Amino acid sequence: MDKQRLRKPAKGEPTSRRRGRPTATTPLEIQRVAVRLFDTRGYTQTSIDDIAESAGIGRTSYFRYFRSKSSVVWYDFRAARERLRPALAQAHPDDDPMDVVRAALVDSIVYTEDDVEFLRTRDHLLENNVELFKEAAAHSLGTAQVLADYLRSRFTRGDTLILPEAIGYSFVGALAAAIHLWVTDPRLDLHGLLKAAVQTVEVHGGRPVALLNQAADAGVRQLGPMVVPTAIIDGSVQLNGAALEEMA
């Protein structure tokens, strides 16, 4: 059904697929429309044509923003990751890398109260769709990997394999915990929750990178408090190729 082309409007016919329905003109608006449809009709039962019709756009416009049906679910994930990358890349080399990551993560999250209902709806959708749940794990892995790559470039001595990876996963878990708390009770201050959450991830008490390198040379590998979502590291989660491609 996804491959069926939408009928082109006749001359003089409104381009909106439903009279009176506003056109969704941004990827974010299309994402909101799609997630509502997935939740009410069912993910499998909803086609790309259904999304395009409800959003008041054509298939060409849809594929201008999204590679597949499922990719529309993760637009905000990808947008946050794209804000994260340059913030890390532009950080001053003398700045403590943990502080750089904390600030970049907090700044990458731009949800407002208007997003609460969408986030709740998506959470409900993921609870009832195994494939989308797996893709959520893949996107979380992508964010953790961006953090790990940056930290690995800063941790220049000792074992640079496990430490950056563990810290990256820890930050992702802390961030998810803060957002979940806020969605549960939007009266809470999201910015404050995010700042508090990223502070829970420490390495050797949050010492500067120079001391981290000295500790690595000495063979010290102790990590501070970590929150790692089991859905991300559970060996039973199999990441499909499409999810990994969307993660890039």
CA pair distance 92, 100, nearest whole angstrom:
9
Closest CA to 126 of 170, 173, 118, 241: 118
- Provide the residue-wise pLDDT of the chain in tens; the chain has 248 residues: 444 444 444 443 334 444 445 566 899 999 999 999 999 999 999 999 999 999 999 999 999 999 999 999 999 999 999 999 999 999 999 999 999 999 999 999 999 999 999 999 999 999 989 999 999 999 999 999 999 999 999 987 656 778 899 999 999 999 999 999 999 999 999 999 999 999 999 875 444 344 344 434 443 333 333 333 333 333 322 333 333 344 44
What the chain holds in terms of domains, given with CATH numbers, is 1-66 (1.10.10), 74-247 (1.10.357.10)
What one-letter code names the amino acid at 64?
R
Does residue 95 come out as left (phi exceeding 0), alpha (psi in the -120 to 50 range) or beta? Answer: beta
Q: What is the pTM of this model?
A: 0.73
CA pair distance 78, 80, nearest whole angstrom:
5
Q: DSSP string covering 13-53, please?
A: S-SSSSTTPPP--SHHHHHHHHHHHHHHH-TTT--HHHHHH
